[in-house]
A and B are shown apart, each in its own frame.
Chain A
Amino acid sequence: MLTRETTLNIALAATLLAVPLLALAMDEIFIITLATKVAILALAGVGLNIALGIGGLVSLGHAAFFGIGGYAMGILAAHAQNYEPIMEVPFLIEGTNQMPIIWLIAIVASALAALVIGALSLRTSGVYFIMITLAFGQMLYYFAISWSAYGGEDGQSIWVRNEFPGLNTLDPIQFFLIAYVILCLVLVFSARLARSPFGLALAAARQTEERVMTVGLTPFHLRLVAFVISGAITGLAGALYADLNRFVSPTMLSWHTSGEIMVFVIIGGVGRLFGPLVGAAVFILLEHILGGFSEYWQIFLGLLLLLMVLFARGGLIGAIVGREVAHD
């Protein structure tokens, strides 16, 4: 029998697919773009949720990985379009406009960054961890602003979206489907990860470190692996987001971005598989609807967020399905 949460998750996945298809039928192209944005930002949240929800690692620096993924796209695509190799000595590296290769490089680059940042940051815990991840994010942010080779604060535009074999990525619905399929695959991966021995050990380490150490596992290593996986997924989302906008800029690295990704996860429900999707969808809908009401819409956004933290503990999914949850 399906739990209520699983039923809800299936319904959510179906809705995210149905909305843009419906929009296509009604010729409301922009709705498709919004749905694509939801899918990609949800992907970033799913990445963060592995560190945050399962591992209990409150990272306020995930914008770093989001941005690295974005810049991986920007740099590769810009070189490909200008027919300039990225480097010629000691060996030739050329740019590319093939999405699969870009994704792979975005994943590897952000995983490496997460390995370094994680190895350093995980020596601390609690508020110190929040702050040191924030600090690493800020370092990269200021670096990107002054990195004039790729536009500095202006950012790097690529004039056409990158290519995916057999698809026309400039067609909004096809690009949406790419993002949607990736989101679904990563959700499946994330669900299996949570139930795997690794995921269980990681969750156990969040609750009682001693329990994990007595069976011979090192919490530090568990967390580091989780942090790297988390960073890699967020990096992949960054590459897709940059492709959605055909543009990457330091804004992707700012601490506001970290805050927003975290907001998605919390609105939806920390540790809930589909939490980031609900969170991203609600956030973007609010931004879009409230933005139409008033110049000062962020006041209302703030109030809603506040009410949600105070009165809807466990996030929206928690509020809908109750506390039947299995993760703990």
Chain B
Amino acid sequence: MSILLILEQVLNGLQFGVMLFLMAAGLTLVFGVMGLINLAHGALYMVGAFAAAAVAGLTGSFLLALVASLAAAAAAGAIVEVAVIRRLYDRDHLDQVLATFALILIFSEGTRWIFGSFPLFLDVPDYLSGPVSLPGGIEYPLYRLTIIAIGLVVAAALFWLIARTRIGIQIRAGEADREMIAALGVDISKLYTLVFALGAALAGLAGALVGAIQSVQVGMGEPVLILAFVVIVIGGIGSIKGALVGAVLVGLTDTLGKVFLPQFFGLFLEPASATSVGASLASMLIYILMALVLLVRPSGLYGGST
């Protein structure tokens, strides 16, 4: 296998990781600030993708579709937060798991009720479609490069938001000591709604970006949700930096695992069983990675106490 192909696969892993980061960032933020475990985060990802597909279908504009995905997911997030989630902050994780599990059912079947059972159409806009030549002769889809760029910009913006702005200070204060921040006169319920909507918007954006090269369908959020959980657990729950590192780690492990494991087994097994065994192991690989990380660092790479 050539060096170029390996580089291309690394790029693929990176792109997958960056996409996971958009999902994981909101999840980890919501957990860090409000202590909430939100299984319905994947539903917000789906909402973003469906909103984007609907708007792109009506207007033909991909940019408008992205804006719609942000707006719709943020709005859905804010509504859910006010109606349901804020009653769960002082409950234990168990109630949170059950309530957000119920939200998944409502969102999934509700979406199917509105949009029907068939996948929707959302495509890469013309100005981003097709491959570009990278130095060294790699032909790489422009759209995937765009996803990497958007993801990195969002990551930078999040770091800036948390380190440098007033809201960021409040968020950090909220993570450290919830009573204190209320005592300081910050409207805590407003802050929580804002953080939840921000997390939802990021998930919605991820859904729209990915929806253009995947299938916009009911239930699309669930596999990604589980991956995003793996990411934040590896990175350490509550840490944006951990989410970024964890996402890239998971993206690379998954992509490189499925490329190289079958070839590795091909060294000493016959081709048919090598591809099969390799593929089986590759699909378990990130969970093995997660278990290993937790064995060495029970609260993740960048996690504090739980």
Is chain B in direct contact with chain A in the complex (CB below 8 A)? Answer: yes
Please list the residues of chain A having a beta carbon within 8 angstroms of any beta carbon in chain B: 52, 58, 60, 120-121, 123-128, 130-132, 134-136, 138-139, 142-143, 145-148, 255, 259, 262-263, 266, 270, 296-299, 301-303, 305-306, 309-310, 313
Interface SS of B by simple majority: helix
Complex CA gap A17/B76 in Å reads 45
Given contacts A127-B93, A135-B233, A146-B283, 17 further A-B contacts (CB under 8 A): A60-B97, A120-B291, A124-B306, A125-B298, A125-B306, A127-B37, A127-B306, A130-B93, A131-B230, A132-B294, A138-B226, A138-B284, A139-B288, A259-B101, A296-B113, A302-B103, A306-B102
Do B99 and A309 touch (CB < 8 A)? yes
Do B103 and A127 touch (CB < 8 A)? no
Out of B98, B226, B280, name the residue touching A305 (CB < 8 Å). B98
Residues of chain A within 8 A (CB-CB) of B306 are: 124-128
Does B132 reach chain A (CB closer than 8 Å)? no
Does B269 reach chain A (CB closer than 8 Å)? no
Q: In the complex, how many angstroms separate the beta carbon of A275 from the nearest chain B beta carbon?
A: 12
Q: Mark B72-116, 1 if CB is under 8 A from A, else 0.
A: 000000000000100110010111011101111110111011000
Complex CA gap A160/B252 in Å reads 46
Does B229 reach chain A (CB closer than 8 Å)? yes
Complex CA gap A67/B88 in Å reads 31
Do A298 and B37 touch (CB < 8 A)? no
Out of B97, B288, B300, name the residue touching A130 (CB < 8 Å). B97
Complex CA gap A135/B109 in Å reads 26
Do B97 and A299 touch (CB < 8 A)? no
Please, could you name 12 A-B residue pairs with CB atoms under 8 Å apart, sorted by A? A60-B97, A124-B294, A127-B37, A134-B226, A139-B288, A142-B287, A145-B283, A262-B98, A296-B109, A302-B103, A305-B101, A310-B87
Do A305 and B102 touch (CB < 8 A)? yes
Residues of chain B within 8 A (CB-CB) of A310 are: 84, 87, 99
Complex CA gap A120/B296 in Å reads 10
Complex CA gap A156/B104 in Å reads 30
Q: A124-B294, A127-B37, A255-B226 are in contact. Are A148 and B95 (CB under 8 A)?
A: no
- B contact residues, total (Cβ < 8 Å): 44
Do A128 and B226 touch (CB < 8 A)? no
Complex CA gap A40/B192 in Å reads 42
Residues of chain B within 8 A (CB-CB) of A127 are: 31, 37, 93, 233, 237, 306
Q: In the complex, how many angstroms separate the beta carbon of B34 from the nearest chain A beta carbon?
A: 12
Residues of chain A within 8 A (CB-CB) of B98 are: 262-263, 266, 305, 309
Complex CA gap A290/B162 in Å reads 46
Q: In the complex, how many angstroms separate the beta carbon of A62 from the nearest chain B beta carbon?
A: 13
Does B142 reach chain A (CB closer than 8 Å)? no
Out of A58, A132, A143, name the residue touching B97 (CB < 8 Å). A58
Does B279 reach chain A (CB closer than 8 Å)? yes
Out of B37, B87, B91, B230, name the residue touching A135 (CB < 8 Å). B230
Of all chain B residues, which has the CB nearest A255?
B226
Q: A127-B31, A255-B226, A309-B99 are in contact. Are A135 and B291 (CB under 8 A)?
A: yes
Residues of chain B within 8 A (CB-CB) of A298 are: 105-106, 108-109
Complex CA gap A313/B91 in Å reads 10
Do B105 and A302 touch (CB < 8 A)? yes
Complex CA gap A289/B277 in Å reads 43
Does B1 reach chain A (CB closer than 8 Å)? no
Q: Mark B228-270, 1 if CB is under 8 A from A, else 0.
A: 0110010001000000000000000000000000000000000
Complex CA gap A139/B281 in Å reads 9
Out of A52, A263, A306, name the residue touching B106 (CB < 8 Å). A306
Residues of chain A within 8 A (CB-CB) of B288 are: 139
Do A299 and B298 touch (CB < 8 A)? no
Residues of chain B within 8 A (CB-CB) of A123 are: 294-295, 298
Residues of chain A within 8 A (CB-CB) of B88 are: 309
Complex CA gap A305/B284 in Å reads 32
Does B9 reach chain A (CB closer than 8 Å)? no
Task: Name the 5 nearest CB pairs between A and B, nearest first.
Answer: A302-B105, A305-B102, A126-B306, A146-B280, A302-B106
